[in-house]
Structure 1
Amino acid sequence: MKYIYYALLLSGLAIVLIRWRHLGRSLHLFAPLYISILLTEFVSDMTHTYFLYHINQAIDCGLLCLYYYLLFEGDPLRKYIWSAYLLYFGFFTAYFIRYPANFFGFDPIDFVMMGVFLTLFSLYYLIGLYRTEEQLPFLRHSHFWIVVGNLLFYSGASFFMGFAFTLMKLNRTLYIELSYIVQVLNLLLYSIYIKGLLCPPLPVKRPD
């Protein structure tokens, strides 16, 4: 499954670079997103260190918040996106200063907080698309696919990660079995990203 994961990440990065001139600036953000994830996975696999995942989480959160910020142009929610990120980053910093040992091991609390914000942003965007009076070709809409992928992954994975830390301590066998759900969601996310990145750019103005 790891090789499939790497293949999806490399394919997504290649698509962004090849189609760079055909993608909007919000989709250009997926190049550093892919690079950050690939470097984190590669170095972590080589050195068996976990803290890099926490750093990558903060980078991913910042890039995806910027993606939604660009996506919500002219929308009243836009001004709250950076407030959400600052809240996330402030909590991230304070928590790991308070519990430094958790920074170097598995503790998904930062992922859960990030997932909650991204799930809310995704729901808001999709509801806005549903309510718009414009006729939109959803199946050929890049942002529709990207946001659907985020919604499916971050809602499902955050739900599991919310009790994963406790489950790992109480029943490690069950934790390992259930963690395959997150791995499948991860593969689904990057598969949907590829679908979205291959769509022609169709910027949509959200309703006021």
Structure 2
Amino acid sequence: MRAPLRDFGTAAPAVDRLDVLTGPVADALRHWSGSAPAERIAHVDTEPEWAETADFVVHYGRELLERSADCVVVAGRRGGVTTLAACVVLSTTRVDVNGVVRRRFDARKASFAAMDTAVGETGTEYGGITPIGLPAGWPVLVDPAVVDLPYVLVGSGRRCGKPLVPGEALAELPGAVTRPALGIA
């Protein structure tokens, strides 16, 4: 399989690379039910030291910045209740935590979840957080600009490797809701 965005050297359907993915991500791909078949999701091998988006695009090509999405875990709090959610925005933007996210959860306070919470609750490695395979019931807020991309690079759950996912498939993940202006410059 050739990677849909550029030549990464090693690319394969993600369903053929379940052994290099975290358990939750592999399970999500095994039980995939979106309109884009799981076989359209490619997995490319990448080096763990280049997992962070800024380092990734320097090493693999700046043109990938506009084809990459970041997934961050946020925490909304109100009345002693904390709600965790994932937010997916283009890597050229940042999540509007204090606007769109706070209002979506009717929270008094919203912030990025602590690293230990984010990786512990998602079962992923820091630098590889992904919207694929999140805990049941989690809201997944997706910026429409991500959905509009034919393919987008996201985290794989591990620092090595990245899936290339049709943007429309991210809007169909369990708990996914598109939120205009989620990603701000």
TM (norm. structure 2) is 0.27
Q: Which structure has the bigger radius of gyration?
A: 1
Query: Hey, which of these two has a bigger chunk of helix by percent?
Result: 1
Query: Hey, which of these two has a bigger chunk of strand by percent?
Result: 2
